Structure 1
Amino acid sequence: MIGDDLGDQRMRAQASEPIGLSNAFWQRQDVFAALRARDIGQIFRLVRQYGGMSQTRIGIAVNLSQGKVSAIMNGSAQVTTLEVFERVADGLAIPDPARIALGLAPQSVIAAISPRDTSQAPSEPPRGTPPTVGLVRSGEDEDTMRRRDFVGLTGTALFSAILQPTSASRPADSIAGIAAALTDYSTPTGQPIDLQALTHAVAQAKGTYQACRYTEVTAMLPELLRAVRIACTTMTGDARHRAYVLSAEAHHVAASILLKQDDKGLAWLAADRSTQAAHASENPLAIGSSTRIITRALMDGKHHDTAVLTASTAAQRMDSDLTQPNHNDLSVYGALLLSGAVAAAQIGNRHASAELLDEAEQAGRRLGHDGNHMWTAFGPNNVLCHRVNTALTLGDAGTAIDHARRIDIDALPINERKATLLLDTARAFLIWSKHDQALHVLRAAGEIAPEEITSRPATLRLVRDLLATAPITVRREAREYAESLGVSA
């Protein structure tokens, strides 16, 4: 009897353990389709099939009885209320991209819209608290705010699901929120912003972007852009100048996301906002950094001559003003030179491109390492990455691959730069008719940064080109890979 009791206790303890499902599970095509359809019964069945979870364990995780779970799985009961959807998402620890597909706000946004507890009025968020906490003004009921956010995201998610179902959540699903924030010209109102919390939130957005978690950062940006706008309007003195720096950085991230989504109009608007805020801050580093995103927007709009002039002029101004540059100065200066080199290559100006690359290489040597000062990821290996890109742009695929072989990819400090290098290398191999190696490098990029593959139109076009030109020896493998991404010839 005692042994039976201990066995029952052990089984109950095991059943109550948190459910741990990998991110790969939530990215499966069948799982994502169930999320889009908001079919909780199918989600439970897939959790049981691939996660080995019993109905009892699922029920404990989502706070439903085993009988209720069974009824949902066999179709005799349906989940229709927001409260149960959220309970399922929380209990199964569904990651943010999958939450968005289900029509729920991501956890990062839920944190941002939670009113602050002002009873103790802490000067900074407690350790472990997401940096976005405290950005939104108090005075609105929590349930009201969560319901408002849920309705907005649900509409976006469901509309996207109807018109263009995909096998993975995409940043484009939430671009409408960024558009609304960028085009809000009303006078901002609200309680004063906590500048320290805002600083943390902007850093979180920039770090999330550089980690290539584009869906996550896209969900953060609308509220963040509104918060920096309020800060710039309501603060005075040095705090206002700091708020303008944060606004420049936040809009820089927004423009970067929009450029990756090929949204030229909104990208230009965000880049211009970044530059205006940087100049208002009167901070030379902020101005130099924002010039990089303006240069990228100009290149994306095919204004390459202007892009070269903009980047090189800003770099020359920094060079003349800085007698004893520190790491931040060298990084922004070098990154501007690299932007100009890429723009020069776009118009076939080999001499100007090589000259700017050589100057950037000298700056990299002076810096002496690959860092991420001022969020530039600048350093000697990053200069080599841009030599790969410019050689590819100028039609020298073999030279591009030679440069790529010299790069220590592990020394690159951010995933976004690693993935960009691998995609450029894949393009070079494709031009060189090395389809098997192009496919191998593409898969490596997907391992490092899945959303660089699944969510970027330019990358999906590359996959389509690979599929269309693959020789018979690689065709089957290329087709299987393309089909896993929902790409057809």
Structure 2
Amino acid sequence: MVSGSVGERIAAYRRRRGLSQTALAGLVGRSESWLSQVERGVRSVDRLSVLLDLAKVLNVEVEALTGQPWQYAPNGSPLVDGLDDVRRFFSRYDSLLGIAPDDQVDVVDVRDRVNAAHRAYQAAEYERVVQELPSLLSLADPLRSTASGGRRREALASYVNAYAMAAKLLTKMGAADLALLSADRAASAAVDADSVEARGMAAYQVVCALLRADRAEDAEQLAVQMAEVVQREARPEQPEVISVAGALWLIAAVIAGRRTERGEAWRRLDQAEVLATMLGQDGNFAWTAFGPTNVAIHRVSVAAELGDPAEAIRAADAVDPDRLPAGLNSRRAQVHLDLAWAQGQRKRDADALLHLMEAERTAPEMVRYNVMARELVREMLARQKKSKTSALHRLAVQAGVLD
């Protein structure tokens, strides 16, 4: 069996089959730049389906590529208690069956509960929100069909907010099919709401869900086009619209980074910087966490995506997480995850471990459900020669990589 990292193994078996990077990438529906990054150790294979496709084309078992038993393959997030209940909710169609809610829906109550769920999500309390999601969506569902009069727009906004929150959580959990369904419901209601803010929020979640489903080209097209639409409506007195436009440019920059389009990635970050300057503060309007600090965090993220660890480390010097609004634990942890990835690219495992431990201290569930973090832990475990009582082993257990 070939030794080395997953990327090195893929490269060795590719050469053994006499395939070029262009040929192998095309056979698994990826770009040559993506495969180049994987083979160089800049990116991880973050979906089991892609790993299976690579193994099939290379005519080897998956374990030959991972060098690990099947249960340790880089296959995304662990199972989440309660996700089956969410799936069952999405299989119900009460409106088609004519099933009405037992009680009158209170728009204010729904709005408050949705806002609480957003706060829990941003605090990286994912498992708690998963448990509450079916009942919350059941409460929000009637808003679209029953609200009328002067409160209809408010009701539709709450409905969009509920399904946007569900989409971001399900994307985080790796349930791409449910995330796309949630985002689509938000998008349909956003059009009815006649709100550019709602349309932008919904589009952002569609983009994230498409990315999770490995449809990066579709995601990028929507992100850029919607960012341009929303930005045209942005005014200093409309912080929500500014923030949504900025968030769309940030996700568009991340996508460009994944495609190794350096110039385009920085251009999109600069567009977001203009909007952050217009906003003039680190806010959390429309649950975007958008502002100058979040733009600075994304400069670190994009540099890591580009495989430029030195730039990621330099960009991190401009980040002051204490400027973020209270409760944004996931944003604070993201800097450390990106720096861990950057240090991992340099094979500086001690430094990478320190950043992973800080991210885990700040937002434990974010590390547990982050594909990049879990794959980095696996790679570091493979390189480590120390005992099972080490800090890395303890982190691997806490992150769900090891039992």
Q: Which interval holds the TM-score relative to the shorter structure?
A: 0.7 to 0.9
Two-structure CA RMSD over aligned residues (Å)? 2.4
CA deviation after TM superposition for structure 1 residue 363, in Å: 1.2
Matches within 5 A, 1:211-230: 211-230=123-142
CA distance in 2 between counterparts of 1:340 and 1:277 reads 23
Match of 2:222 among 310, 318, 327: 310
CA deviation after TM superposition for structure 1 residue 408, in Å: 0.2
CA distance in 1 between counterparts of 2:398 and 2:290 reads 34
CA deviation after TM superposition for structure 1 residue 338, in Å: 0.6
Match of 1:319 among 231, 235, 249: 231
Change (3 A) 1:480 1:448: closer
What's the CA shift string for 1:325-363, capped at 9, x where partnerless?
A: 522222111111111111122222222211110111111
Matches within 5 A, 1:335-350: 335-350=247-262
Matches within 5 A, 1:29-428: 172-187=80-95, 188-190=99-101, 191-413=103-325, 414-428=328-342
Change (3 A) 1:446 1:360: same
CA distance in 2 between counterparts of 1:221 and 1:181 reads 9
| Structure with greater Cα Rg | 1
Change (3 A) 1:173 1:474: closer
Instruction: Give % identity.
Output: 32
Local SS of the residue matching 1:239: helix
Could you say which residue in structure 1 is the equivalent of 2:360?
Answer: 446
CA distance in 1 between counterparts of 2:359 and 2:109 reads 33
Q: Which has the higher contact order (CA 8 A, sep 6+)?
A: 2
TM-score under structure 2 length normalisation = 0.75
CA distance in 1 between counterparts of 2:129 and 2:351 reads 31
Matched letter for residue 479 of structure 1: H
CA distance in 1 between counterparts of 2:350 and 2:158 reads 44
CA deviation after TM superposition for structure 1 residue 372, in Å: 0.6
Q: Is the 8 A contact 2:231 2:242 kept in 1?
A: no
Local SS of the residue matching 2:289: coil
Q: Is the 8 A contact 1:228 1:246 kept in 2?
A: yes
Could you say which residue in structure 1 is the equivalent of 2:49?
Answer: none
Change (3 A) 1:384 1:192: same
Change (3 A) 1:210 1:485: closer
Change (3 A) 1:246 1:256: same
What's the CA shift string for 1:212-235, capped at 9, x where partnerless?
A: 111111111101111111122212
CA distance in 2 between counterparts of 1:353 and 1:268 reads 25
CA distance in 2 between counterparts of 1:300 and 1:371 reads 26
* Count of aligned residue pairs for this structure pair: 322
TM-score under structure 1 length normalisation = 0.62
Q: Is the 8 A contact 1:305 1:344 kept in 2?
A: no
Gaps of 5+ in 1: 1-169
Q: Is the 8 A contact 1:192 1:234 kept in 2?
A: no
Change (3 A) 1:415 1:458: same
CA deviation after TM superposition for structure 1 residue 240, in Å: 2.6
CA distance in 2 between counterparts of 1:470 and 1:409 reads 31
CA deviation after TM superposition for structure 1 residue 458, in Å: 4.6
What's the CA shift string for 1:173-199, capped at 9, x where partnerless?
A: 111122122221122412220111111
Q: Is the 8 A contact 1:178 1:218 kept in 2?
A: yes
Local SS of the residue matching 1:173: coil
Q: Is the 8 A contact 1:258 1:266 kept in 2?
A: yes
What's the CA shift string for 1:53-110, capped at 9, x where partnerless?
A: xxxxxxxxxxxxxxxxxxxxxxxxxxxxxxxxxxxxxxxxxxxxxxxxxxxxxxxxxx
Q: Is the 8 A contact 2:236 2:278 kept in 1?
A: no
Matched letter for residue 189 of structure 1: A
CA distance in 1 between counterparts of 2:270 and 2:379 reads 33
Gaps of 5+ in 2: 1-77
CA distance in 2 between counterparts of 1:302 and 1:264 reads 9
Q: Is the 8 A contact 1:436 1:474 kept in 2?
A: no
Matched letter for residue 397 of structure 1: P
